[in-house]
Amino acid sequence: MDNNNNNNRNNRPNKTINVNNPFNEENKQSTSSKNTNIIKIGISHGDFNGVGYEILLKTFSDVRVMEYCTPILYGSSKILSYYKKITDLPNFPFTNIRSCEQAEKGKLNVLNIIQEEVKIDVGQQTEIAGELAALSLNMATDDLIKGKFQALVTNPINKKNIQSPTFHFPGHTEYLTKKFDAKDSLMIMACDKIKIGVMTNHLALKDVPNVVTGDLILRKLKTFHQSLKRDFGISMPKIAVLALNPHAGDHGVNGDEDEKIISPAIQKAFDQNILAFGPFPADGFFGMGEFANYDGVLAIYHDQGLIPFKLMSFTNGVNFTAGLPYVRTSPAHGTAYHIAGKNIANPDSFRSALFMAMDICKNRMEYDELTSNVLQISKKDHIVDEDITHELQKDDEPAL
């Protein structure tokens, strides 16, 4: 089998938006109905002392973005006005609204989460910034659950100052999983070159080996597999699983988790028609470019996945939470206090997150429409899928 030909596995029409160049002619054709079916996007403002408002303003200063979506910012018009001056966009238009129903097409809509003046300490960690980051996120997710907009884009938060008795999560992923009562979720770092799922999210490295179980691996593979199909339009996705130990343990010399836990879980996933392979030692896997042969890569721990991802896509990568009942994306960077207020923040990652959210919304609608009537899936097609899976298993057995 030629693992390099991933395009053959995507049988759905390619109507997605190129998030790296969303205004080309191909995108105009793929969104020909955009004026009648514009997606509402809710945006939580994150830590207002970081670069969140700057990248937002720079993105929506290009009026063409409004042709694809109607943005609703859960933030403060006063803070927005402050950053308008810093970004040299004094005439940037926006409108204040009291509810999502009042949102106007062609404008940035600001739903004020606070009416009072707020002390802005650019580039600093402050208590009030954390409180308002949590308030913005809570209000936005409440409205998302109520169906007032279609997707959520979250601006970066400071994981320290947002902590409180009502917010005790290590990041957005864990908070949203709990808030949406999701059975499982997976943090996927996505760009045009790769999609990396992070199995243990933000868990401290010292705790990772204790939570790596066959059940966890299988659950994450199922979530990843379904997301690649439903959210990214890949009919038969191939997923590579990275090893926990150096050299995948060298048959027990450098640890036995890969041989005793990870490899059997991969086999079990394969037996359930998930095209999972590995475990692969991460250094050689990325060094030799093997990731290009797969639709997704499952990393065991945070930095194992994030380091190669950011080397490939530091400026325009996207953080997407798979497994949730709602679409959520985020720029793949933090608050960037060190450059906040200097008008040098790159908005590409935020813009990519915005367009990926729209793209996934449309992919989900198409997938759900195609699969809503199970009778449309013939027994013959099911048998073909199983036969293909077993043939692939013969050609590319999971190996240490």
Average pLDDT over all residues of the chain: 88
3-class SS of residue 232: coil
Q: Check: pTM over 0.75? Answer yes or no.
A: yes
Q: Write down the pLDDT at residue 399.
A: 44
CATH 3.40.718.10 occupies which residues in the chain?
1-26+184-317+386-400, 38-182+324-346
Q: pLDDT-based confidence at 243, cuts 50/70/90?
A: very high
Q: Write down the pLDDT at residue 11.
A: 44
Q: How many degrees, rounded to 5, is the angle at CA 113 between CA 168 and CA 354?
A: 80
**Domain at 1-26+184-317+386-400, CATH class:** alpha beta
With 0-12 / 13-18 / 19 or more C-beta atoms within 10 angstroms meaning exposed / middle / buried, residue 328 is buried
CATH code of the domain made up of 38-182+324-346: 3.40.718.10
Percent of the chain with pLDDT over 70: 84
Predicted confidence (pLDDT) at residue 236 exceeds the cutoff of 60: yes
Question: Cα Rg for the chain, rounded, in angstroms?
Answer: 22
Percent of the chain with pLDDT over 90: 79
pLDDT in tens, 252-307: 898 999 999 999 999 999 999 999 999 999 999 999 999 999 999 999 999 999 99
- What whole-number distance in Å separates Cα of residue 328 and Cα of residue 171? 13
Give the residue with greater pLDDT, 365 vs 5: 365
How many CB atoms sit inside 10 A of residue 202's CB?
A: 15
The stretch 214-237 carries a mean pLDDT of: 97
Predicted confidence (pLDDT) at residue 351 exceeds the cutoff of 90: yes
